[in-house]
């Protein structure tokens, strides 16, 4: 039993011992792990404490740094505040000073206002006294001088007027001299350039066509039996034929220059041929008229071609050709028109204007003279009407119509046309006039000058192109001499017709003469 018990208890005891061993091992093992855990825990607590200490140190350092920065910032702010306070204190001081100064100025102004008021009162009192004194003096002067106040005022105004007129005359003279000096050079340059670029022959007018015949027998043949030949000639051509005692010559006169030319050529051919009778006269008239018409057409076309103009209507071209038989103060009008066209074109080119338009105006400005014996009116208006009818440019029409100042000049071409017309007409040799007209113009010049007060003598010189006026120095002062010359020029321009220009010179001199005995 004891053996069975041992056999039975042995395994159980082994199990129990094993279990107990296991338990014992577990306890021992657990204690070991607990010890290890404690160690780890202790290490962790040490590490944590170390980290906390480091964190606290770092935080303390940051706090110290922030405190230093805050202290520094506060210090700077206190410094700035101090500066602001100083500036404010300085401004307050300045404002106080300014207020003090303003108060002083206000006091000074108040004092000055009081002084001004007192001065006004004194001036008002003195003004009343002065007026009273002036009135007494005027009454006394009127009593002594026997002059009223109005008479004295008029005397003073006359004196002032004379002095102002003298001074204004001097001023006008200085201004005119300065303007002349500036303009003369350029004007001379432009005109000289225009003249140098064109030169034409001088053609003189034959107021009546004189035809040479071989002998007096030819006069009888021209007259014909009972005057039938000369009547046929005059009726056919519309001219007047004068046959007098002048040897070997007959004279043809007519207002129509074309008819006069037709008659001249007919008579020359009849004299050359020798056959003179009414039938021959009619046949020759048709032939000569046809030739003259062709010649007119050719002359007009040649003038237009020479100037390089275009788009001129055929009727106007024929009128241009008719101008070759028209004369003005002995100057051939066609030659004059071509000359004006060249002058006007050259000057327009110098001034930056349209050269071809200027040439067109110069050629057409006297177109009315081709028919002015047939149509009533001035040649300028007649020419403008003709150009208007054929659709010419308005600038051309105005320049033609206004070149003698019969209408207002609307463009710069109009005064340019007037200037070149005078330039062509007044050049030496361009025109001639009768002795009667010449003497009449000289007399009229001197008469106009002598009508002015203070003029002693006057002399027309250089064929009426210069007028010298001698004045009395005690009546005309130095400045008034210039005004007198200007007034005389205005009268001459208004009352006289003349080519070119007339120079008026006023001479004022004082001579002192004494004799040694």
Highest mean pLDDT, choosing among 6-10, 130-134, 358-362? 358-362
For residues 460 and 417, state if they share a domain: no
161-173 burial, b if ≥16 CB within 10 A, otherwise e? Answer: eeeeebeebbeeb
For residues 475 and 414, state if they share a domain: no
Task: Express each pLDDT in 322-363 by its tens digit.
Answer: 898 888 766 788 898 999 999 899 888 888 889 999 999 999
Per-residue pLDDT, 367: 92
Give this prediction's pTM: 0.48
> Per-residue pLDDT averaged across 246-268, rounded?
82
> Per-residue pLDDT averaged across 77-99, rounded?
88
Sheet order of strands, 466-471 included: 455-461, 466-471, 503-507
Per-residue pLDDT, 397: 93
> Per-residue pLDDT averaged across 225-246, rounded?
82
- Statement: residue 128 has pLDDT above 80: yes
Judge whether 211 and 252 are in contact, CB under 8 Å.
yes
Which of these ranges, 96-105, 216-225, 316-325, 402-411, has the smallest mean pLDDT? 216-225
Tell me 405's DSSP state.
T
- Statement: residue 437 has pLDDT above 80: no
Phi, psi at residue 214, to the nearest 5°?
-70, -35
Per-residue pLDDT, 386: 93
Tally of domains within the chain: 3
For residues 104 and 47, state if they share a domain: yes
Last residue of a domain, one of 402, 426, 450: 426
Last residue of a domain, one of 398, 426, 454: 426
- Statement: residue 9 has pLDDT above 70: no
Contacts of 135 (CB under 8 A, 6+ apart): none
For residues 421 and 473, state if they share a domain: no
d(CA 343, CA 416): 10
Terminal CA-CA length for the chain: 217
Tokens of 406: 């019969």
> Per-residue pLDDT averaged across 181-194, rounded?
61
Give me the CATH number covering residue 500.
3.30.300.20
d(CA 254, CA 263): 9
Judge whether 331 and 183 are in contact, CB under 8 Å.
no
Question: Which of the two residues, 190 and 310, has the higher pLDDT score?
Answer: 310
For residues 298 and 383, state if they share a domain: yes
Phi, psi at residue 364, to the nearest 5°?
-95, 0
Task: Express each pLDDT in 353-397 by its tens digit.
Answer: 899 999 999 999 999 988 887 888 888 999 999 999 999 999 999
d(CA 205, CA 328): 8
Q: Where are the beta strands (DSSP E) in 383-465?
A: 455-461
- Statement: residue 244 has pLDDT above 50: yes
- What angle do the packed helices 216-223 and 257-273 form, to 10 degrees? 120
Judge whether 379 and 372 are in contact, CB under 8 Å.
yes
Mean pLDDT of the chain: 80
What is the percentage of the chain residues whose pLDDT exceeds 70?
80
> Per-residue pLDDT averaged across 390-414, rounded?
90
* pLDDT-based confidence at residue 1 (cuts at 50, 70, 90): very low
Residue 371's domain spans which residues? 209-426
- Dihedral in degrees, nearest 10, Cα atoms 362, 368, 371, 373: -120
Task: Express each pLDDT in 473-505 by its tens digit.
Answer: 888 887 788 888 888 988 888 888 776 678 888
Task: Express each pLDDT in 19-30 by its tens digit.
Answer: 666 666 666 566
Per-residue pLDDT, 395: 92
- Statement: residue 207 has pLDDT above 70: no
Per-residue pLDDT, 396: 93
For residues 337 and 455, state if they share a domain: no
Per-residue pLDDT, 204: 38
> Per-residue pLDDT averaged across 310-314, rounded?
90
Last residue of a domain, one of 122, 137, 163: 122
Give the DSSP letter string of 124-158.
Answer: HHHHHHHHHHHHHHHHHHHHHH---HHHHHHHHHH
- Statement: residue 460 has pLDDT above 80: yes
Long-range Cβ pairs for the range 211-216 (8 Å, 24+): 211/249, 211/250, 211/251, 211/252, 211/264, 211/267, 211/268, 211/271, 212/248, 212/249, 213/248, 213/249, 213/250, 213/271, 214/248, 214/271, 215/248, 216/247, 216/248
For residues 363 and 498, state if they share a domain: no
Question: Which of the two residues, 437 and 120, has the higher pLDDT score?
Answer: 120
Phi, psi at residue 55, to the nearest 5°?
-60, -45
What is the percentage of the chain residues whose pLDDT exceeds 90?
13
For residues 258 and 281, state if they share a domain: yes
> Per-residue pLDDT averaged across 270-293, rounded?
85
For residues 415 and 439, state if they share a domain: no
Q: Which residue has the tokens 């349209």?
A: 354
Per-residue pLDDT, 100: 84
């Amino acid at each position: 039993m004891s053996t069975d018990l041992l056999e039975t208890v042995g395994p159980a005891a082994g199990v129990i011992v094993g279990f107990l061993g296991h338990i014992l091992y577990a306890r021992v093992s657990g204690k070991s792990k607990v010890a290890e855990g404690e160690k780890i825990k202790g290490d962790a607590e040490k590490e944590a404490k170390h980290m906390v200490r480091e964190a606290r140190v770092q935080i303390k350092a940051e706090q110290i740094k922030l405190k230093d920065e805050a202290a520094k910032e506060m210090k700077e702010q206190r410094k700035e505040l101090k500066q602001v306070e100083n500036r404010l204190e300085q401004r307050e001081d300045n404002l106080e000073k300014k207020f003090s100064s303003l108060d002083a100025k206000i006091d000074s102004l108040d004092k000055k206002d009081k002084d001004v008021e007192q001065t006004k009162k004194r001036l008002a009192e003195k003004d009343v006294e002065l007026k009273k004194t002036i009135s007494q003096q005027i009454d006394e002067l009127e009593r002594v001088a026997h002059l009223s106040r109005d008479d004295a005022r008029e005397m003073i105004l006359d004196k002032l007027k004379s002095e102002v007129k003298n001074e204004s005359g001097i001023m006008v003279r200085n201004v005119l001299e300065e303007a002349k000096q500036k303009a003369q050079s350029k004007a001379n340059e432009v005109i000289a350039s225009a003249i140098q670029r064109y030169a034409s022959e001088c053609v003189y007018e034959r107021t009546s066509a004189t035809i040479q015949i071989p002998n007096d027998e030819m006069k009888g043949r021209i007259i014909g039996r009972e005057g039938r030949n000369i009547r046929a000639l005059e009726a056919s051509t519309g001219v007047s034929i004068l046959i007098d005692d002048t040897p070997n010559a007959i004279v043809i006169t007519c207002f129509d220059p074309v008819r006069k030319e037709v008659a001249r050529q007919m008579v020359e051919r009849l004299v050359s041929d020798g056959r003179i009778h009414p039938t021959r006269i009619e046949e020759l008239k048709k032939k000569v008229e046809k030739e003259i018409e062709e010649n007119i057409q050719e002359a007009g076309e040649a003038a237009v071609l020479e100037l390089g103009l275009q788009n001129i209507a055929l009727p106007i071209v024929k009128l241009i050709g008719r101008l070759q038989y028209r004369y003005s103060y002995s100057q051939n009008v066609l030659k004059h028109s071509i000359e004006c066209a060249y002058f006007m074109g050259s000057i327009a080119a110098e001034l930056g204007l349209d050269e071809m338009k200027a040439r067109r105006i110069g050629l057409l400005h006297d177109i009315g003279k081709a028919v002015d014996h047939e149509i009533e009116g001035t040649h300028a208006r007649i020419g403008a009407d003709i150009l208007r009818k054929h659709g010419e440019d308005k600038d051309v029409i105005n320049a033609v119509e206004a070149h003698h100042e019969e209408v207002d000049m609307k463009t710069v071409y109009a005064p340019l046309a007037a200037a070149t017309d005078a330039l062509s007409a007044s050049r030496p040799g361009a025109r001639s006039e009768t002795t009667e007209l010449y003497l009449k113009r000289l007399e009229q010049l001197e008469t106009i000058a002598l009508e002015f007060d203070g003029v002693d003598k006057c002399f027309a010189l250089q064929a009426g192109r210069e007028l010298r006026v001698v004045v009395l120095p005690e009546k005309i002062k130095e400045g008034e001499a210039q005004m007198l010359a200007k007034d005389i020029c205005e009268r001459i321009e208004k009352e006289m017709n003349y080519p070119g220009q007339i120079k008026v010179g006023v001479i004022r001199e004082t001579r002192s003469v004494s004799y040694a005995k």
